[in-house]
Structure 1
Amino acid sequence: MKKIYIIHENSEWTVHLTRRLEELGLPYEEWFLDEGTVDLSAAPPEGVFYNRMSASSHTRGHRYAPELTGVVLSWLEEHGRKVFNGSRAIQLEVNKVYQYAALAKHGVRTPKTIAAVGKEQIVKAAEQFLGKPFITKHNRAGKGLGVRLFYSLEGLKEYVYGPEFEDSVDGITLIQEYIQAPEPYITRCEFIGGKFLYAVRVDTSEGFELCPADACQIGNLFCPAGEETEQKPKFQIIEGFRDPIIEKYEAVLAANNIQIAGIEFIRDQAGEIFTYDINTNTNYNSDAEAAAGTYAMLELARYLGKHLEQEEKTASPVL
């Protein structure tokens, strides 16, 4: 029997999808790729495959999970299997430089960014931002890892040459202009099947390490996804969101064969949109969805189920 295969390395981010698959009575199997082998001479099972490997896998002790996933996806694609978020998706997931290049190709504006390897080069790159605040971030990150805001070169030097400095797992640090928003929030646009589903307003007043999942542990810091203050929730789905940027985002996803993603942007004081992240391992906030009556994991389960049904109707070729 053909199944839906879910490729990942963090069950906390997958359980919401598997529950929906069970609700719909859809057969599935999880491929937990923290380690393993791939027999390239063997044929993969038949079915549909959904890749939700994360760039932050190394923070959970799964340093080479994305590399292993890249091998598996290549193997699946070589055998003509139906893969959602395939090889190109994993390339973009673990490399923000690749993301910015893909966005720029479709006329999507990103913040001025310099990639640097080595502490001296990080400081040298930051000299181009003198007089303006800037941030550092990891090229391969996820969950906002490595994001720090600086207002001076001296502040950066204290960090880079101090005990708190943490290098990106791929050795590439990004130095990026800081986009000052009139209000402390960013917008995250969710896509399923390459089409826009909804946009979420995310409160950034408590910092940069943002994760919409219901459980999100970052070192000793807890990301209170779903927790509400007396004033407003941290995550809030925007009713009736419309903007020309959506068409460009859909073109980016189509060109890179990405079906499921969350794309984040921020508006500056003049209202100009700057896009800074493509998440191909996207998570959803249950409180925000309950308030809006929209459930992305249910839509995703239905989407995967539809394609599984199509695969069932397709007879296997005679070899």
Structure 2
Amino acid sequence: MADLAILYEHPAWFTPLFAALDRRGIDYVAATADGHGFDPADPTPPAPVVFNRIAMSSFLRQPEHPIFYAQALMAHWAAQGARVVNGPAALAVDASKARQLSLIAGLGLGIPATRIVHRAADLVAASEGLRFPIVVKANIGGSGAGIVRYDDVAALAASVADGTTPDSIDRVLMVQEYTPVRGGAITRIETLGGKYLYALGVDGGGSFDLCPADVCLVAPGKASIAIDRVEPDAALVDAAERIVQAAGIDVGGVEVMIDDRDGTARFYDINALSNFVADPLSVLGWDPHERLVDWLEMKIAEAKT
């Protein structure tokens, strides 16, 4: 049995992680979700530590995506005694923007004003009392997919009537006030082991796709985004740590924007699949994959005792 098992979906996203593991000589197996299967009566996990690397955006790349399969698989391996990194609890939150916002608001933190429905026909009624412009979002999205802005209720009603509103693979939709972002850049706070790792200011020039990783930046047709290292104030760092700890996320990012209308920090996204920033040595001065492998080595040692 290997010390570490990794389940992933995207063929290019984890090359830096695998390279870091290879440099350390860690005994690991990496399996793609496609072609994978499991026996629910099998009591043996593939390794004492399992690292879940399934992206919510996988549905964009293949209709037979592994999102819900991974939820069942990680729950099974956790029940068999594996230490699952970003396990069932994290997956449940990662796979639901509605749950994310409820969790954040339950911690007493700011979120964009939002209403949740499960039918497109209910979007117009749900928008009552919200300030336009609004955005309609898919509950399960990724890379900015499933988000459309509407500047007035007539535009939203017309989109509902002609069937062009966003859809979500789980049939859950949200109507959310569009937040004018102070300074134009959101802040993405990355965490590891429930603690602050680093933060980025990300300005997409109005785009909803703010993924800062290498493979995101070179994606065909993707608009350019500006990325800078930032140091959030202590209150934002504390809030991000509270969010990921409450969500059960071992490795992940939290996105927050400062509402230009009133200066409120509004947290709006929790991402349990962090690919880390492109060109980390230039942006950060160090490679977060090395810190991640340090942490994984610690978890492997703990699981063996």
Tell whether the structures are fold-level matches, with TM greater than 0.5. Answer: yes
Q: 1:283 aligns with which of 244, 253, 275?
A: 275
**AA partner of residue 133 (structure 1):** P
The equivalences for 1:134-173 within 5 A come to 134-162=134-162, 164-173=164-173
The equivalences for 1:128-207 within 5 A come to 128-129=129-130, 132-162=132-162, 164-207=164-207
Q: Distance in 2 between matches of 1:127 and 1:164?
A: 20
Q: 1:301 aligns with which of 276, 289, 293?
A: 293
**AA partner of residue 44 (structure 1):** P
Contact 2:137/2:166 (8 A) holds in 1 = no
State the Cα distance separating 1:243 from its structure 2 match. Answer: 2.5
State the Cα distance separating 1:143 from its structure 2 match. Answer: 1.2
Q: Distance in 1 between matches of 2:217 and 2:164?
A: 19
Specify every segment of 5 or more residues in structure 1 that has no aligned partner in the other structure, as ranges: 226-233, 315-319
Q: Distance in 2 between matches of 1:179 and 1:209?
A: 15
TM-score where L is the length of structure 1: 0.87
Give the match for residue 256 of structure 1.
247
The CA deviation string for residues 37-89 of structure 1, in whole angstroms up to 9 with x for no partner, is: 21122121332111121111111115341111111111111111111111011
The CA deviation string for residues 11-50 of structure 1, in whole angstroms up to 9 with x for no partner, is: 2221121111112221221121135321122121332111
The equivalences for 1:1-319 within 5 A come to 1-42=1-42, 43-61=44-62, 63-129=64-130, 132-162=132-162, 164-216=164-216, 221-224=221-224, 234-238=226-230, 240-269=231-260, 270-287=262-279, 289-312=281-304, 314=305
Q: Secondary structure at the match of 2:127?
A: helix
Give the match for residue 229 of structure 1.
none
**AA partner of residue 178 (structure 1):** Y
Q: Distance in 2 between matches of 1:211 and 1:82?
A: 28
Q: Distance in 2 between matches of 1:28 and 1:167?
A: 38
| More displaced 10-residue stretch of structure 1: 3-12 or 258-267 | 3-12
| More displaced 10-residue stretch of structure 1: 250-259 or 167-176 | 250-259
State the Cα distance separating 1:221 from its structure 2 match. Answer: 3.5
**AA partner of residue 15 (structure 1):** T
State the Cα distance separating 1:219 from its structure 2 match. Answer: 9.5
The CA deviation string for residues 237-273 of structure 1, in whole angstroms up to 9 with x for no partner, is: 11x4332132232223223321111000000123210
Contact 2:2/2:29 (8 A) holds in 1 = no
Contact 2:191/2:251 (8 A) holds in 1 = yes
Inter-CA distance 93–298: structure 2 relative to 1 (3 Å threshold) = same
Contact 1:8/1:30 (8 A) holds in 2 = yes
**AA partner of residue 265 (structure 2):** I
Contact 2:120/2:165 (8 A) holds in 1 = no
| More displaced 10-residue stretch of structure 1: 107-116 or 193-202 | 107-116
The CA deviation string for residues 127-152 of structure 1, in whole angstroms up to 9 with x for no partner, is: 332x5311111111111212222211
Q: Secondary structure at the match of 1:97?
A: helix
Inter-CA distance 164–186: structure 2 relative to 1 (3 Å threshold) = same
State the Cα distance separating 1:90 from its structure 2 match. Answer: 0.7
TM-score where L is the length of structure 2: 0.91
Inter-CA distance 117–252: structure 2 relative to 1 (3 Å threshold) = same
Q: Secondary structure at the match of 1:39?
A: coil
Q: Secondary structure at the match of 1:63?
A: coil
Identity %: 27
Contact 2:136/2:165 (8 A) holds in 1 = no
The list of structure 1 runs, each at least 4 consecutive aligned residues, that deviate by more than 6 angstroms after superposition, is 217-220
Q: Secondary structure at the match of 1:139?
A: strand
Q: Distance in 2 between matches of 1:104 and 1:307?
A: 31
Q: Distance in 1 between matches of 2:270 and 2:282?
A: 24
